[in-house]
Amino acid sequence: MRRNCVMNDLVDLLERSCRPKIVVVGDVILDRYLWGDVDRISPEAPIPLLRVSRQEDRLGGAGSVASMLGALEADVGLVCVLGDDQAGRRAGELIAAAGINAGTLVSADRPTTIKERILGRAQHRHAQQIIRVDHEQTGPLEAELSAALLERVRGQLQGADLLVVSDYGKGICQGGLAARLVALGADADVPVVVDPVRGGDYARYAGCAAITPNRSEAALATGLEIDSPEQGLSAADKLRCLGIDAVLVTLDRDGIAWSHRDGRRGVEPARPRQVYDITGAGDMVVSVLGFALAAGLDFAEAVRLANLAGGLEVERLGVVPLKRRELVCELQATSRSKLYKIVTLERLDARLDEARRSGRQVVLTNGCFDLLHPGHLATLEAARCEGDLLVVGLNSDRSIRALKGAERPIVDEQGRAEMLAALECVDHVVLFDEPSVEALVARVRPDVLVKAAQYCEDEVIGGDVVKRRGGRVALVPMKTTYSTSALVERILRTQTPSMPPTPD
């Protein structure tokens, strides 16, 4: 049950209109993809001959992280260094198109890093990466450029919720800059999350809120073999001893092993997936982790969301940002959907606010729904047709006893709620404790209030509340051959009397 509560919390976070301010600093890379068909071998050498059909440019490195955070609807600032070259100008165009607030420095002495991937199809089947060609300069920034970069970061940190450092080892975080960036975050009281470089001295990340090395990076940094989740946990514990609050070791098929300074630690397992391309999975993990932490989510829940997002990313070719709605759909698919539908009033308020912002019409109906039968089903399906989202107000056990006597309900409130939530036509189920539904109607503020046609419109409790707000009351057909009370009486009549005890 706790896991389903967590899933609800994650969905609610993604459905809220929150825009945490996150600053990203690091190595921006221009990812260039050349696509084509391979239908013959070159006459010059025993190699495939690629006939290029299209070229695509995407943001990589820190640019990828910033664009992913933008797709999650964070308020993103990016501080980076680009070369005074065609690739730098192209990267600048992509940054602007993504709506990222850029603090870009241009260097005439450093070329923009390009990762050029050649992807070929044979007989028009799925494209496979043939080779990657890198154009880069990896030395540290000169002193003047370093000072200018730190000043830009300092300016963007005002009012920020989080600083993400994307260290790809291309120069921005070398020469002590990583430690100085962490110190800037501490001075501004802004937590720092780092996607660390491969093979570096991780002591330079001391003071970070979290780092996210992958399996091979953590192995190089600790000198430990990491062939299992338990070994991943050991590596996370060892790296945390460097003065880092939390460490996430991403373990591809084994999920994420994590350790936090408050003593919590664990392994978030990976859901089995069809892995198409691992490119961008690390960027996605640090982006979603950073977004969740900046939005105030508990650390363990943030890890769970980051793990799910990283899994989604490997099902795609290349670096592809995920939108909030895609994560919501995945969360709902991985949780027991009927328990997702059962909500408190407070949780329902938030979901209905979001539904109204998107122009959806809210329908409310209510009842005891004890011994769910075809008559109930017909009413609920007809109610769902009256709008875009159906909320069922369910009488609690206590309110049913007040209405129908001490022998009812037959099925307890949790069981009745789960039965209703299992129906496709029902979107949300909420319990109410009062004998009258009027207070719930006033709280939900439905566009349509639905009752079965056994009532007259003037008899519908809460109908006047709805109509005063411009809504309407709908009376839907019912199957008169079904009644819960009649079913209970029939069951009691057909019960076999208990046999008297057999004498010894």
pLDDT band at 198 (very low <50, low <70, confident <90, very high): confident
**Each residue's pLDDT tens digit, 390-407:** 999 999 999 989 888 888
Residues 330 and 353 in one domain: no
The percentage of residues in the chain with a pLDDT greater than 90, rounded to a whole number, is 49
Tell me what pLDDT residue 356 has. Answer: 80
**Each residue's pLDDT tens digit, 242-278:** 999 999 999 887 889 999 999 999 998 876 444 444 4
Residues 262 and 376 in one domain: no
pLDDT band at 21 (very low <50, low <70, confident <90, very high): very high
Q: What is the mean pLDDT of residues 209-222?
A: 94
Q: What is the mean pLDDT of residues 33-57?
A: 88
Tell me what pLDDT residue 40 has. Answer: 86
118: in domain: no
Q: Which of 296, 314, 335 represents a domain boundary (last residue)?
A: 335
Q: Which of 313, 335, 357 represents a domain boundary (last residue)?
A: 335
CA–CA separation, 31 and 473 (whole Å): 56
Residues 321 and 353 in one domain: no
CB atoms closer than 10 angstroms to residue 131:
12
CA–CA separation, 213 and 194 (whole Å): 9
Residues 319 and 382 in one domain: no
Cis, bond preceding 409 (omega within 30 deg of 0): yes
Tell me what pLDDT residue 275 has. Answer: 40
Residues 294 and 395 in one domain: no
392: in domain: yes
Residues 434 and 325 in one domain: no
Per the structure, the complete domain to which residue 105 belongs is given by: 2-28+60-110+137-335
Q: Which amino acid is at 371?
A: L
Least confident of 101-105, 122-126, 389-393: 122-126
Tell me what pLDDT residue 181 has. Answer: 95
Q: What is the mean pLDDT of residues 2-29?
A: 74
Tell me if 83 sits within 8 A of 302, measured CB to CB: no
CA–CA separation, 343 and 391 (whole Å): 10
The contacts of residue 400 (CB under 8 Å, 6+ apart) are: 368, 370, 408, 409
Q: How many folded domains does the chain comprise?
A: 2
pLDDT at 315 over 60: no
444: in domain: yes
The percentage of residues in the chain with a pLDDT greater than 70, rounded to a whole number, is 84
> Which CATH number goes with the domain that contains 401?
3.40.50.620
> Which CATH number goes with the domain that contains 20?
3.40.1190.20
Tell me what pLDDT residue 319 has. Answer: 54
Tell me what pLDDT residue 8 has. Answer: 61
Q: Which of 335, 365, 388 represents a domain boundary (last residue)?
A: 335
Tell me what pLDDT residue 454 has. Answer: 76
126: in domain: no
Tell me what pLDDT residue 349 has. Answer: 87
Residues 352 and 420 in one domain: yes
Residues 172 and 262 in one domain: yes
pLDDT band at 124 (very low <50, low <70, confident <90, very high): low
pLDDT higher for 491 or 84? 84
Residues 174 and 289 in one domain: yes
18: in domain: yes
Residues 325 and 370 in one domain: no
CA–CA separation, 481 and 363 (whole Å): 25
C-alpha closest to that of 27 among 157, 159, 132, 164: 164
Provide the annotated active-site residues.
283
Tell me what pLDDT residue 504 has. Answer: 45
Eight-class DSSP state of 370: -
CA–CA separation, 29 and 64 (whole Å): 8
What is the sign of the dihedral through the CA atoms of 16, 21, 26 and 30?
positive
Distances in Å between the Cα of 449 and the Cα atoms of 357, 386, 389, 465 are 20, 9, 12, 10
Least confident of 321-330, 379-388, 419-428, 444-453: 321-330
179: in domain: yes
